[in-house]
Amino acid sequence: MKDTPLSNCERDFLLNAIGEKRRLDGRQTYDYRNIKISFGTDYGCCFVDLGKTKVMAQVSCELITPKENRPNDGIMFFNIELSPMASPAFETGRQSELLVKLNRQLERCLRNSKCIDVESLCVVSGEKVWQIRVDVHLLNHDGNLMDAASIAAIAALSHCRRPDVGILGEDVTVYSPEERDPIPLSIYHMPISVSFAFFQQGTYLLVDPCDREERVMDGLLMIAMNKHREICSIQSSGGIMLLKDQVLRCSKIASVKVSEITELINKALENDKKVRKAGGRCGFAQSMPQERITALKADVSPVEMAGIKENANEIVQRAEAPSQSVPSPVLPAPGTGQVGEGLQTSWGLEEKEEEEEEEEEEEEDVQHVVEEQGRGDVVLISDSDSEEEEVVILNQEALPTKGTLSKQQRAADSKQQRAADSKQQRAADSKQQRAADSKQQRAADSKQQRAADSKQQRAADSKQQRAADSKQQRAADSKPQQKNKKQ
Amino acid sequence: MLNSFKDKIGDVLLPGDVFSVQMPESITDSKPEKIVCGPGLRRNGDEVLVCKSGVLRHKPPNLYWIDSQQRRYIPVKGESVIGIVTAKSGDIFKVDIGASEQASLSYLAFEGATKRNRPNVQVGDLVYSQLIIANKDMEPELACIDSCGRANGMGVFGAGGLLFKVSLGLVRRLLAPQSEITVDLGKLFPFEMVVGLNGRVWVKARTAQQTLIVANMLESCENMTAQQRQVLFRRVADGSI
Amino acid sequence: MEVCGSSSPTLREFGCEQNLLSRPDGSSSFIQGDTSVLAAVYGPAEVKVSKEIYDRATMEVVIQPKVGVPSVRERAREQCVRETCEAALLSKLHPRSSFTLVLQVVHDDGSLLSCFLNAACMALMDGGLPMGCLFAGVTCAINGEGQIITDPTAVQEKGSRALMTFAIDSTERRVMMSSTKGSFTVHELQKCIAISQKASEKIFQFYRDSVRRRYSKTL
């Protein structure tokens, strides 16, 4: 998508207004927009609102092998995401010029300034070090992405806790937060980037330019500095000539802004710590403004359960009966089989039967049986004997074992017959009888009885009984089958 | 159906809400009433389907529509919009009107323009024009003259002034006859204002300061009740802001 | 056939903010307990020629994970959301244009897919895109004891043997999309659908309340 083009009238108005020392949102030349810093539910997640610009930073840690030339240093990795959420002009997965510029500047601001003690991230020299990954997501682009990103990244790093590790001989154990409290990163200082936009070949200067101001500016100067007034990086882009005085003046302004912002970050961190200590809730959900007309919240609400069971039962019962005839298997190519071609799925009923049979047996058991059943439906045609045997097991009727029939045909035949037979029978028998008998009875019996009984007892009772029942039945069933097989 | 519809006038409706057009049996003898569905309403067989969230509005005798606060403009024939010229190609200008496609504007569609006498329009200029072709299957087309060949207020903007974007809902409120917001603003100080139905507003006051005040006040009017707005305007008039 | 436990399932507290981003045409944040998602939508906007469809709008969904680059899991979820949106949107009204939906994970504490769906629906509504119906996402988990838990947290999801997410439509409460994991019986499935349909009513009511609140000053 393309961005809305900037009209000449906006450009002229902006430049004129800047000449008159006025800005679109009524700020003064050196004013920042409102900065709001909030933290997420988990450690190392930070949201920064700079006016309408919004970014989110997330820090994550991972154990990796270090670089060969620096076996004792942990690794810092920065990744800025320009998602189309922030601006229609951004695309995912494209290395745009802006992205490279922002990423590079963030790296220079936070990695090359050595604000984080990378040696403390070493676990086993040359083998295991922590990699600290910082993902910065731009959510809404209204200018000055760099400053917002740098504030979010450093605040997230200061908020981050990495898991504790223990070394016993050769073994490295990473403790979960429940076992041992995670430990914060050691941060020497907090570099913060401050952006200055220059207009009319450097005649006018604005701090914290918004989107439209950025579009008409001639050049941009980004100074990263910490509160000790140490410059961590400085970058000028746009190709304007700046005088020495201008750079010096900018660095003075930057030092004031940086100390203000550092104060703000520290206050936000402290607040968050207090809330966490008090066991209060924190995170994005809590930072949602309640008073806004566009926001609404609903409390925990129970879902009404009345009628749900009946409903579900009804649907299951209304489910279509499986078709009585099974079409002959389709063979796209020799040696391949196909499932369910032109056949309505009959799984619904079969599974239901299974459920009734095995009801509260262990899950595995049910699954197993279902699988078997399912296989009955699947037309398996293969040359291996084992497959056929498996097919035979399910068949209760006498097997047409004529040697003249080819294996495939036989399989197909038996399958049809068996499927038709067993299904009919089963459908007729078990459904009518069992459904009528056991369900009513059970429903009547067990519900009254069981409801009165405790759950555990019920489970135990029914399991024993039914397990015994079904085992007997199954044993009885399977015996003739085995005989069959031997024949 | 009309009764149920009428009950809902001024109510907030959501997409998927359905009204049946089926007449009750008792009044089949009376002539079936016609209704006209405006934006956000669609006929779906015997039903009227709401497809946008917003407030149901009604204009006598039988016009109904949904008033929403969306931002994206969808071209409608006959509406006046503010466009930004993005390219000149051959004998047409390409104009961005904030829709899904750029609109085309013939250089002959200006007052007094002939093949020899081309209008002076540069890339980046603003034009106030009317949509003469707008439907989902065709590229929208603009014209800066009415059917009599008169400019009638349309054409290229002069120098100065500020363009900004507000929601389409606010634009419609501004353009409503005797709109309170416009009247209240007009009491503060004199200024020129052009409102395009595509959500773009152009304002020019005597000074840049006043232009900015108007722009910021309009942007903040989006979510304000009439009372809150009047309080704000009074404070501005007193000079406290 | 007692599958449902004694405790009745609940939805965690949920909240929503609309129109919170200035650049997109529509935006929303949806919060379910600690799970939260940010959604932004553009449309109808211009479309790349390669993706142009002559008789309807192209729907694109992008899911941004919180850490790292999108993987197969995100792609699968994108598809779930996209198909739901395509079913709800009247894309025939804007041929040769694009609807783009961007979803950003803010925090994952279970039921993420349903949160995606709810955030998407609010954003589409906020953007004023034409829709035939609304949709709500509900996630159900079946734990080891066979209890159904609606709107599970990440811990509950981990301890579950089956996890299902349904998109329910607002007009007839039908299932528009389902995504399941783990094993369950047909009966359990039907029960989960029935519960989701009940739960979706709460969400639809919430949609209505929040839109009503938003328009309360222009009534």
**In chain A, which residues have their Cβ closer than 8 Å to the Cβ of C212?**
none
φ/ψ of residue A176, rounded to 5: -75, 160
Chain A residues 93-132 with a CB less than 8 Å from chain C: 93
Interface partners of chain B (CB pairs < 8 Å, 3 or more) are: A, C
CA distance B51 to chain C (A): 5
With a cut of 70, say whether residue A320 has pLDDT above it: no
Tell me if chain C has a CB within 8 Å of the CB of A142: yes
Tell me if chain A has a CB within 8 Å of the CB of B212: yes
Tell me if chain B has a CB within 8 Å of the CB of A406: no
pLDDT, residue A91, reads 87
pLDDT, residue A450, reads 52
Token output for C175: 């299932």
- Domains, chain C, in order of start with CATH, read 14-214 (3.30.230.70)
CA distances from B156 to A4, A59, C163 (A): 19, 51, 60
DSSP secondary structure string, A234-289? Answer: EEEES-----HHHHHHHHHHHHHHHHHHHHHHHHHHHHHHHHHHTT---STTTTS-
Residues C104 and A136: their CA atoms lie apart, in Å, by 12
H-helix or E-strand spanning residue A350: helix A347-358
Residues A413 and A477: their CA atoms lie apart, in Å, by 22
Residues near A174 by Cβ (< 8 Å), separated by ≥ 6? Answer: A63, A163, A164, A165
Higher pLDDT, A474 or C105: C105
Tell me the three state secondary structure of residue A303.
Answer: coil
Residues near A300 by Cβ (< 8 Å), separated by ≥ 6? Answer: C10, C11, C12, C13
Other C-beta atoms closer than 10 Å to the C-beta of C7 total: 9
CB burial readout A415-431, b (16+ within 10 A) else e: bbbbbeeebeebbeeee
pLDDT, residue A356, reads 44
Name the DSSP letter for residue A429. I
Interchain contact, C128 vs B101, CB within 8 Å? no
Residues A56-94: tens digit of each pLDDT:
999 999 999 999 999 999 999 999 989 899 999 998 877
**Among the partner residues A137, A351, A354, nearest to C104 by beta-carbon distance:** A137
Residues A143 and A53: their CA atoms lie apart, in Å, by 7
pLDDT band at B107 (very low <50, low <70, confident <90, very high): very high
Interchain contact, A22 vs B208, CB within 8 Å? yes
Closest CA to B237 of B173, B178, B165, B188: B188
Q: How many contacts (CB atoms, under 8 Å) link A and B?
A: 52
Residues C36-84: tens digit of each pLDDT:
999 999 989 999 999 999 999 999 999 999 998 889 999 999 999 999 9
Tell me the three state secondary structure of residue B8.
Answer: coil
Q: Are A116 and A188 in contact (CB under 8 A)?
A: yes
H-helix or E-strand spanning residue C143: strand C135-143
CA distance B186 to chain A (A): 21
Token output for B200: 């773009």
Residues B119-150: tens digit of each pLDDT:
899 999 999 999 999 999 999 999 999 989 88
With a cut of 60, say whether residue A133 has pLDDT above it: yes
Residue with tokens 């936009």: A197
CB burial readout A300-314, b (16+ within 10 A) else e: ebebeeeebbebbbe
In this structure, which amino acid lies at residue B104? Answer: S
Q: What percent of chain C has pLDDT over 90?
A: 84
CA torsion through residues A63, A66, A72, A76, sign:
negative
Tell me if chain B has a CB within 8 Å of the CB of A88: no
CA distances from A300 to A297, C13, C28 (A): 10, 4, 20
Tell me if chain A has a CB within 8 Å of the CB of C206: yes
Residues A392 and A394: their CA atoms lie apart, in Å, by 5
CB burial readout C8-23, b (16+ within 10 A) else e: ebebbbbbbbbbbbbb
**Domain spanning A8-277: CATH 3.40.50.720:** no
Interchain contact, A311 vs C190, CB within 8 Å? yes
Higher pLDDT, A315 or B212: B212
CA distance C133 to chain A (A): 21
Residues A426-439: tens digit of each pLDDT:
555 555 555 555 55
Interchain contact, B212 vs A22, CB within 8 Å? yes
Chain C residues 6-25 with a CB less than 8 Å from chain A: 6, 8-24
**In chain C, which residues have their Cβ closer than 8 Å to the Cβ of A139?**
21, 38, 104
**In chain B, which residues have their Cβ closer than 8 Å to the Cβ of A25?**
216
> What mean pLDDT comes out for the span B85-89?
93
The residues pairing with C17 across neighbouring beta strands, listed in sequence order, are: A295, C29
Interchain contact, B125 vs A8, CB within 8 Å? yes
**Among the partner residues B96, B202, B216, nearest to A5 by beta-carbon distance:** B96
With a cut of 60, say whether residue A374 has pLDDT above it: no
Residues A87 and A81: their CA atoms lie apart, in Å, by 12
Tell me if chain B has a CB within 8 Å of the CB of A12: yes
Residues A233-263: tens digit of each pLDDT:
999 988 888 889 999 999 999 999 999 999 9
Name the DSSP letter for residue A148. H
Q: Is cis: bond before A163, omega within 30 of 0?
A: no
pLDDT band at A344 (very low <50, low <70, confident <90, very high): low
**In chain B, which residues have their Cβ closer than 8 Å to the Cβ of A16?**
208
Tell me if chain B has a CB within 8 Å of the CB of A27: no
Closest CA to B142 of B155, B153, B159: B155
Domain ranges of chain A: 8-277, 318-486
Other C-beta atoms closer than 10 Å to the C-beta of A160 total: 24
Residues near A343 by Cβ (< 8 Å), separated by ≥ 6? Answer: A323, A326, A327
ipTM of the complex: 0.91
- Domains, chain B, in order of start with CATH, read 2-67 (2.40.50.100), 80-156 (2.40.50.140), 162-238 (3.30.1370.10)
Tell me if chain A has a CB within 8 Å of the CB of B61: no
Cα radius of gyration (chain B): 21
With a cut of 50, say whether residue A304 has pLDDT above it: yes
In this structure, which amino acid lies at residue A85? Answer: M
Could you give the strand order of the β-sheet that contains C160-169, starting from the edge strand earlier in sequence? C148-150, C135-143, C160-169, C175-182
Token output for C123: 């954003």
pLDDT, residue A373, reads 43
In this structure, which amino acid lies at residue C3? Answer: V
> What mean pLDDT comes out for the span B31-55?
85
Tell me the three state secondary structure of residue B25.
Answer: helix
CA distance A196 to chain B (A): 22
